[in-house]
Amino acid sequence: MTSRTTAVPAALAVLLACGPDGSPEVGDRYYGPIDATALDAKLRPATGTRCPTGQSPCYPPQEVSVRGQTVRIYNMGTVSSGLTFTAGGTLSGATFVAGAAYAYHFPDQCEPDLAYDPYWDPYPGDQQFPIFSALPLAPTPPSTAVVLPIVRVVGVDEVADNPCNALKKTASVEAGMFGAVAADRVTAFEARLWAVIDPGAWVVPLSATSTFLPRFGWSRGLIFSYLDGGKVPLNPAGNILVMDGLVVDSVGSGTCPGTGATGCSTLTANRVIILPFGPDEAQYSPIVRLRHFRASGGAAPSAYTAICTRALATGGLPPCTGAPNEVDISSVALTGLEETLIAVGSTL
């Protein structure tokens, strides 16, 4: 069943609790859902033919290939310029991690209210939603800064007597409301890809049996949904480790995605992207640098479904066997026209 993440508007009673000194402590005010039109364009929902009938706007899954198998991911957008990779294929942690938003995450440290009624209650109270310091909003012109939905996830200790979701602002945690003591967000964090999405859009399941669902979060008293794309791997220097994937283009001319090139695949199309690893593998990263490879002999892009290598340093990739569905990634040059995919995948 397709899920819709809109919280039903309703009046919210003032939440009261007892502080350590016996004085009443009041939870943060609820201001409703975010204005999703302010999100960075990559994170806004699709519309029209990419959505099932009657379910527009939506976040549809996309079929990609991993090791010869078809899997589904949520394509949270691609970046065509503005990212600089090191020679080792990493992205700057100083820019995209140290400068990222942070989120306080303490889901079970609260007093749950299990009597949730979706028709009358504005949001569930069975656990505390993470509290984000900022949202991935579209840059204000003339800024062309690249927005990546990377979040520094930080723990909280000693919070007590707080109803679940009484806390909705990072400032309240930092002020010690309900006794909260936050971990050091500069050093004690886990980098994760938490892609904030429109809470009013349909999220089409990854499969008929998938249990992977969007989650709720808070920012300054506003509620939103997000997709958990998993841990963002970092090297010892704190830079982001990315995967190198492939876009398979049809027979044509020119260098995709360059100006005037023909036969270039649409990056949201099914079975044109090949990933080297799946989300359950240690080498996986939700940040994928895409090289373009052109199909030969009239083959369709979907005929290619696996990445291999003939390089001495395999990086965990299997050696090429000569199978017709394989692409030797060591033979596909980096051209400076690479696009970067933000992928949310799950085995659930």
pLDDT tens by residue, 71-120: 999 999 999 888 888 877 899 999 999 999 999 999 999 999 888 898 89
Domain end among 219, 238, 257: 238
Same domain membership, residue 247 and residue 223: no
The single-letter DSSP state of residue 295 is: -
Residues of the chain above pLDDT 70, percent: 92
- Does residue 221 carry a pLDDT above 80? yes
Structural tokens at position 280:
């359950």
Kindly report, residue by residue over 198-208, the tens digit of the pLDDT: 999 999 999 99
pTM of the model: 0.88
Single-letter code of the amino acid located at 336: G
Whether residue 117 sits in one domain with residue 202: yes
pLDDT score, position 193: 96
CB-based contact 130:228 (threshold 8 Å): no
Biggest alpha carbon–alpha carbon distance for the chain: 77
Beta partners for 113? 125
Look at residue 262 in the predicted model and tell me its pLDDT: 93
Domain boundary, last residue among 183, 209, 238: 238
> If pLDDT is split at 50, 70 and 90, which confidence band does 3 have?
low
Domain shared by 178 and 258, yes or no: no
Give 57-125 as a DSSP string.
SEE-EEEEEETTEEEEEEEEEEE-SS----TTSEE-HHHHTTTSEEEE--TTSSB-B----TTT-SS-B
Identify whether residues 208 and 300 lie together within a single domain.
Answer: no
339 and 209 in a common domain: no
Residues 210 and 128 in one domain: yes
Residues 251 and 330 both lie in one domain:
yes
| Residue 145 C-alpha from the chain's centroid | 18
- Distance, C-alpha 229 to centroid of its chain: 4
Taking Cα atoms as reference points, which of 152, 169, 156, 193 lies closest to residue 29?
A: 169
User: How do residues 260-305 score in pLDDT, each as one tens digit?
Assistant: 999 999 999 999 999 999 999 999 999 999 999 999 888 999 999 9
Has residue 60 been placed in a domain? Answer: no
Q: Which domain holds residue 130?
A: 93-238
Q: Which of 200, 223, 238 is the last residue of a domain?
A: 238
Same domain for 260 and 178, yes or no, is no
Matching residue, tokens 């979706």 = 118
pLDDT value, residue 143:
87
203 and 311 in a single domain? The answer is no
Structural domain count, the chain: 2
Tally the residues of the chain: 348
13, part of any domain:
no
The secondary structure element, H or E, covering residue 292 is strand 287-294
Mean per-residue pLDDT of the chain:
89
Which range, of 46-50, 74-78, 146-150, 255-259, averages the lowest pLDDT? 255-259
CA nearest 166: which of 27, 30, 12? 27
Averaged pLDDT for residues 174-179: 96
What token pair was written down for 199? 């809470």
| Whether pLDDT at 187 is above 70 | yes
- Domain-embedded: residue 297: yes
> Same structural domain for residues 288 and 228?
no
Q: 261 and 138 share a domain?
A: no
Is position 38 within any domain? no
In a domain, 229, yes or no: yes
Whether residue 216 is contained in a domain is answered as yes
Q: What is the pLDDT of residue 339?
A: 85
Percentage of residues in the chain with pLDDT exceeding 90? 76
The answer to whether residue 109 is domain-embedded is yes
230 assigned to some structural domain: yes
115 and 212 inside one domain: yes
